């Protein structure tokens, strides 16, 4: 009788899934649920769920619904969220090297962006480690171009216009071309545009489609100026508290998500530029004058960045250029 009861209890526990300790993580993210980064995160969470046999449940909170994008890093650091997705370049003022991938024309195209990531990664892991954070994976956004209401012959046409920035570097570009920077994160972008707070920006085709920029802006100059990365991070104590097999499940799912994410980014780049066109935008290469002006901006910014980032920054650039 006793044995039968025990068996019954065991099968009940199995059926309801409470026969083992289950860990739950929140993972705040800054971009809409339909964005490729967010979709990749959901697949990452599903992979972890399966590979851990349901031991670790990660809930993705997209579109800055749990924390605003610039607050996610601190939330993970402080353990208010166990994991999170951040735009590395948002944290350049804290440590210059977070902004390595936000410098115009340092790395153009996906292979170069990947090379720059590999050059940046050891320093990144070390810094985050000192902050009680572990890097799980990072994925590049598609290349960044300029959205505008009016045609742009050169950077002079950007003078005085209200420029939406999403990072210290994108605000600095505005200053250098004489535009007026207003920092607005992706989750609030559509509204800022609709209410006339901003009238131009530099971002990807992906964010252009996410925020329906074609409803207000007519031109996209495909400058392919840089490919900033989102990084998925975890609170180190939360990760260390997992058992060995669950840790392995997380690391394996993260490696898969990184590979999948870089491929998705490239596919999304092509697809979203088509979507912009289909919605009436002119998608154009920058004129030689505009390109030359932006290259100058890039040179100034690289110099400023190297001054701040010091030998550690120089070593990353050297490793990247080797
Ligand atoms: N989209 C994000 C960051 C880079 C990008 O392509 C944004 O505009 O906020």
Query: CATH no. for residue 90?
Result: 3.40.190.170
Pocket test for ligand 1, best of 101, 165, 204, 210 (most atoms within 8 A of CB): 204
What is the reported pLDDT for 1?
41
CA angle 99, 101, 226 (to 5 degrees): 130
- Residues 218-277 have pLDDT tens digits of 999 999 999 999 999 999 999 999 999 999 999 999 999 999 999 999 999 999 999 999
Instruction: Band the pLDDT of 212: cuts 50, 70, 90.
Output: very high
Mean per-residue pLDDT for 79-90? 98
pLDDT over 80 at 63, yes or no: yes
What is the reported pLDDT for 13?
46
What is the reported pLDDT for 12?
45
Q: Angle, to 10 degrees, between the axis of helix 110-130 and the axis of helix 244-278?
A: 140
16 vs 9: CA distance, rounded Å: 11
2 occurs within a structural domain: no
Distance 115 CA to ligand 1 centre (A): 20
CA separation, residue 174 to residues 148, 170, 171, 278 (Å): 13, 7, 5, 28
37 occurs within a structural domain: yes
Pocket test for ligand 1, best of 85, 91, 98, 141 (most atoms within 8 A of CB): 141
Among 189, 191, 245, 239, which Cα is nearest to 84's? Answer: 239
Mean per-residue pLDDT for 74-84? 98
Helix ranges (H only) for the chain are 2-16, 36-51, 72-78, 110-130, 168-177, 189-194, 205-210, 236-240, 244-278, 288-321
- State the closest ligand 1 atom to the C-alpha of 186, by its place in the atom list counted from 1: 9
17 occurs within a structural domain: no
Percent residues over pLDDT 90 in the chain = 93
74 occurs within a structural domain: yes
The domain of 171 spans: 24-321
DSSP sequence for 79-90: TSSSEEEEEGGG
Looking at the 3D structure of the chain, how many domains does it have? 1
- Mark residue 28 as left, alpha or beta (left: phi above 0; alpha: psi -120 to 50; beta: remaining): beta
Distance 11 CA to ligand 1 centre (A): 49
Q: Among the listed ranges 20-24, 47-51, 296-300, 310-314, which one has the minimum average pLDDT value?
A: 20-24
- Residues 2-24 have pLDDT tens digits of 444 444 444 444 555 555 789 99
What is the reported pLDDT for 21?
87
What is the reported pLDDT for 3?
45
Mean per-residue pLDDT for 29-54? 98
Cβ atoms of 37 and 261 within 8 Å: the answer is yes
7 occurs within a structural domain: no
Distance 20 CA to ligand 1 centre (A): 40
Among 216, 201, 213, 218, which Cα is nearest to 165's? Answer: 201
Distance 309 CA to ligand 1 centre (A): 23
- The separation between CA 209 and the C-alpha centre of its own chain, rounded to angstroms, equals 16
Cβ atoms of 117 and 101 within 8 Å: the answer is yes
User: What average pLDDT is seen over the chain?
Assistant: 95
Ligand 1: residues whose CB is within 6 Å?
87, 141, 144, 166, 186, 203-204, 206-207, 228
Mean per-residue pLDDT for 142-165? 98
Residue 180, both tokens: 């007026």
Surface-to-core class of residue 43, CB atoms within 10 Å of its CB (0-12 exposed, 13-18 middle, 19+ buried): middle
92 vs 96: CA distance, rounded Å: 5
Quick check: pTM over 0.75?
yes
Residue corresponding to tokens 């607050």: 71
199 occurs within a structural domain: yes
CA angle 260, 265, 271 (to 5 degrees): 125
Among 175, 100, 101, which Cα is nearest to 142's? Answer: 101
166 occurs within a structural domain: yes
pLDDT over 60 at 179, yes or no: yes
12 vs 288: CA distance, rounded Å: 70
What is the reported pLDDT for 19?
56
52 occurs within a structural domain: yes
What are the backbone dihedrals phi and psi of residue 22, each rounded to the nearest 5 degrees, phi first?
A: -110, 135
- Residues 91-120 have pLDDT tens digits of 999 999 999 999 999 999 999 999 999 999
């Amino acid at each position: 009788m006793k044995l039968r009861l025990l068996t019954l209890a065991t099968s009940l526990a199995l059926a309801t899934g409470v026969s083992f300790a289950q860990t739950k993580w929140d993972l705040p993210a800054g971009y809409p649920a339909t964005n490729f980064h967010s979709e990749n995160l959901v697949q990452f969470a599903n992979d972890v769920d399966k590979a851990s046999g349901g031991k670790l449940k990660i809930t993705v909170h997209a579109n800055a619904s749990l924390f605003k994008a610039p607050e996610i890093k601190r939330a993970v650091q402080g353990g208010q969220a166990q994991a999170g997705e951040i735009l590395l370049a948002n944290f350049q003022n804290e440590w210059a090297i977070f902004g390595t991938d936000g410098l115009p024309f340092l790395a153009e195209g996906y292979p170069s962006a990947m090379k720059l990531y590999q050059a940046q990664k050891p320093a990144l892991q070390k810094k985050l480690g000192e902050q009680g954070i572990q890097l799980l994976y990072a994925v590049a956004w598609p290349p960044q171009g300029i959205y505008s209401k009016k045609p742009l012959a050169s950077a002079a046409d950007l003078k005085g216009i209200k420029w939406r920035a999403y990072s210290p570097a994108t605000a600095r570009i505005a200053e250098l071309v004489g535009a007026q920077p207003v920092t607005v994160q992706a989750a609030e972008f559509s509204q800022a545009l609709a209410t006339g707070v901003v009238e131009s920006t530099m971002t990807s085709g992906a964010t252009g489609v996410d925020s329906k920029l074609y409803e207000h802006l007519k031109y996209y100059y495909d400058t392919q100026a840089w490919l900033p990365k989102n990084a998925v991070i975890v609170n180190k104590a939360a990760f260390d508290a997992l058992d060995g097999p669950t840790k392995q499940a997380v690391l394996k799912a993260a490696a898969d998500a990184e590979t999948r994410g870089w491929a998705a980014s490239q596919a999304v780049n092509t697809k979203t530029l088509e979507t912009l066109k289909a919605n009436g935008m002119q998608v154009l290469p920058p004129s030689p004058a505009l390109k030359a002006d932006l290259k100058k901006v890039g040179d100034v910014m690289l110099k400023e960045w190297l001054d701040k980032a010091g030998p550690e920054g120089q070593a990353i650039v050297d490793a990247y250029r080797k």
